[in-house]
Amino acid sequence: MKTKQILPILTLCAMAIASAPTYAQQAQPLTLEQAVEMALQNNHLLNVRKLQVAEKEAKVAEDAIKRYPVASVSSSYQYNANLGQLVIEQGSFGALPLVGTTIALPNEEKTFPLGKHHNFNAGVTLYQPITQLGKIKTGIEVAKTDAELARHEQSRAALQIRQAIEKLYYGLLITQKQQDEANAKIRLAQMRLYDVESALLSGKTIDVNKAGLQANIADEEQNLLKLRIQTEDYTADLKQLTGIEADSVTLATVASTAGTAATVAPGTLDSYLTNAATANNDIKIASLTEIKTQKAIRAAEQSNLPDIGLVAGYSYQTGNLLFPNNNPFVGAQFKWNIQDLVANKQVIRQRQFLSQQARENLVNTQNQVKNDISKTHRKLTQATALIAVAEKAVKYRSEELKVQTDKQAFGLNLEADILNTRSLLAKAEADLLAAQLNYRLAYSDLQRLASP
């Protein structure tokens, strides 16, 4: 009989030790704001968003360079094994009659080399586009729009990471309270089992009561194991988001008193809707996407213009006797691809369809944001009321535990009364944390939906 009593107790102790967090590697408890700050600094996905912003800004600088003259430098060397020659045969220019004789012009065959074995060329050419400047300017505007889109994507990702950290942080605190509740229930069931076993020895009860209590203990042990697994999963996700490398993490407690910053009264629904019209990231992204498609249409229309530009440069050569050694030059260049005029009509048509899609997406996003704000504002109001009720429950359960503790000091109650009250208090604290989590999620959703 004693062996049967000891085994569940040993099992409970082993599970409690396994489920109890060990924080030897962490000097101080991790607060929620510290976790958020670490996630914003160390999260790899957010770093990708930051790098995307830098990439788009570099693209803006690249496109801006196209406004200036294009400079190209070239040089070449060539060795000619055979050289060209200009041969003027004797008398090719006729004959010059003189007194008593005729002199052929030339009087003998003449050979003139047209080059040298060693040829060297070097030069620099500048090309300044003129008609394409409008298209280049539009391309710069498109690149700036892409950079602005990347910045809003980064902002949205940061808000999502902040919310994910809050979910994990409060989730861990809630599971800890639920483990406290499960531990108290197991101890209470074990005490009752001990009483039943004692009654069985005296013949005052039957084995059915004992089997039911053992089943309750097994259920709570299973629940405790599930909570421990859930804690491990939450901790792993928190470490991944924040970049924490310690084997274990301890969390600081969250204030649960009324009137704190966590329960600030929400603003009016109209104020959130007004802010969202100009500050919502999703609306900004949809609006910028529409603007981008419109600029793409304008760039395609500007592609119909011929490419006209000014050319200037300088060349130096040696080895070719027919050309000057130094040759500065200036001129104009004209180029117009007629085939592109026909193909460009379809390009413009495609981009017009993209612009219409972007417009429809903007309207849909605006309507969706309005609905989300209304729903989230309602959740925030409900969560505020739930926090107030949950705080009352925690307060009354705490007072009840104090009363039971005082009674125990005078021998006026049983240990089971203390355990039962602690279980109820842990449940009330878990409910309060859940209410606070719902509030913070609703509040962060409103910040994401209606804050710049």
Q: Which residue has the tokens 């006209």?
A: 308
> Which of 382, 443, 420, 397 shows the shortest CA–CA distance to 170?
443
Query: What are the structure tokens assigned to 199, written together?
Result: 């009654």
The reported pLDDT for the residue numbered 261 is 40
Average pLDDT of the residues in 179-199 = 80
For residues 42 and 241, give the distance between their C-alpha atoms in angstroms, rounded to a whole number. Answer: 8
Span 123-151, average pLDDT: 94
Cis peptide before 106 (omega within 30 of 0): yes
Alpha-carbon distance 179 to 18, whole Å? 12
Q: Is the pLDDT of residue 25 over 70?
A: no
Q: What does residue 26 show for φ and ψ, rounded to 5 degrees?
A: -115, 120
CATH of the domain at 148: 1.20.1600.10
Structural domain contains residue 125: yes
Give the tens place of pLDDT for each residue, 287-310: 999 999 999 999 999 988 999 999
CB 248 within 8 A of CB 25: yes
Rounded to whole angstroms, the Cα distance separating 348 from 298 reads 8
Please tell me the predicted confidence (pLDDT) of residue 265. Answer: 62
Q: Please, which pLDDT band fits residue 24 given cuts at 50, 70 and 90? A: very low
Q: What pLDDT is stored for residue 13 in this prediction?
A: 37
Domain assignment present for 237: yes
Residues 183 and 188: their CA atoms lie apart, in Å, by 9
Percentages of the chain per state (helix, strand, coil), in multiples of 5: 65, 15, 20
281 within some domain: yes
Contact 290, 359 (CB under 8 A): yes
Q: Residue 40's Cα: distance from chain center in Å?
A: 10
Q: Which three-class secondary structure state does DSSP give residue 325?
A: coil
The beta-strand segments (E) located in 241-286 are none
**More confident position, 107 or 260:** 107
Lowest mean pLDDT among 41-50, 62-71, 251-260, 351-360: 251-260
Is residue 183 domain-resident?
yes
358 pLDDT tier (thresholds 50, 70, 90):
very high
Quote the domain boundaries for residue 392.
Answer: 2-78+117-450
Place of tokens 């130096």: 316
Contacts of 408 (CB under 8 A, 6+ apart): 415, 417, 418
**Measured in whole angstroms, how far is the alpha carbon of residue 282 from the centre of its chain?**
14
Q: What's the pLDDT score for residue 119?
A: 92
Residue 342 to residue 357: CA distance in whole angstroms: 24
CA atoms within 13 A on the CB side of 424: 16
* The total number of structural domains that make up the chain: 1
Task: For residue 195, give both structure tokens.
Answer: 């009483």
- Among the ranges given (46-55, 68-77, 215-224, 251-260), the one the predictor scored with the smallest mean pLDDT: 251-260
Q: Specify whether the CB–CB gap between 168 and 39 falls below 8 A.
A: no
Mean pLDDT of the chain: 84
Both tokens assigned to 31:
């607060």
DSSP state of 268: -
The pLDDT of residue 400 is above 70: yes
Any domain includes 164:
yes
- Classify strands 70-79 and 85-88 as parallel, antiparallel or unpaired: unpaired
pLDDT, tens digit, for every residue of 56-102?
999 999 999 999 999 999 999 999 888 888 888 887 888 888 777 88
Residue 21 confidence (pLDDT)? 40
In this structure, what token pair is assigned to residue 219?
């259920």
112 belongs to a structural domain: no
Q: Does the pLDDT value for residue 2 go beyond 70? A: no
Q: What's the pLDDT tens digit per position in 403-439?
A: 988 888 887 777 788 888 888 898 898 888 888 888 8
Give the model's confidence band at 120: pLDDT under 50 very low, under 70 low, under 90 confident, else very high.
Answer: very high
Is the pLDDT at 4 greater than 50? The verdict is no
Average pLDDT over residues 131-140: 93
The mean pLDDT value for 116-128 works out to: 93
Residue 26, pLDDT above cutoff 80: no
Distance CA 263, CA 382 (A): 11
Per-residue pLDDT, 315:
95
Question: Is the pLDDT assigned to residue 9 strictly greater than 60?
Answer: no
Tokens of 315: 């060349």
Structure tokens at 236: 């792993």
182: pLDDT strictly greater than 90: no
112: phi then psi, degrees, rounded to nearest 5: -120, 120
* Whether pLDDT at 11 is above 60: no
Kindly tell me if the per-residue pLDDT of 452 is higher than 90.
Answer: no
Closest CA to 1 of 194, 192, 214: 194
Q: 134 pLDDT band (50/70/90 cuts)?
A: very high
The two tokens of residue 188 are 């209470």
Distance of alpha carbon 35 from alpha carbon 255, whole angstroms: 16
Residue 206: pLDDT band (50, 70, 90) is low
